[in-house]
Amino acid sequence: MPVCDYSSPWSRLLNRHRRVRHGRVRKSRPC
């Protein structure tokens, strides 16, 4: 899974499943 996947709907499900902390780290990483 690419780090830029946070833009896709899949990341939304992952963010909901995991803590928002993970989502923040993913968004922080550049593409």
What pLDDT does residue 19 have? 62
Which pTM was predicted?
Answer: 0.23
Give residue 7's pLDDT: 62
pLDDT at 28 (0 to 100): 57
Q: What was the pLDDT predicted at 26? A: 61
What local confidence, expressed as pLDDT, does residue 2 receive? 56
**CA distance to 1, 13, 23, per residue, from 8 (Å):** 11, 10, 12
8 Å CB contact between 28 and 8: no
pLDDT digits (tens, 9 = 90+) for 1-31: 555 656 667 667 766 766 656 556 566 555 5
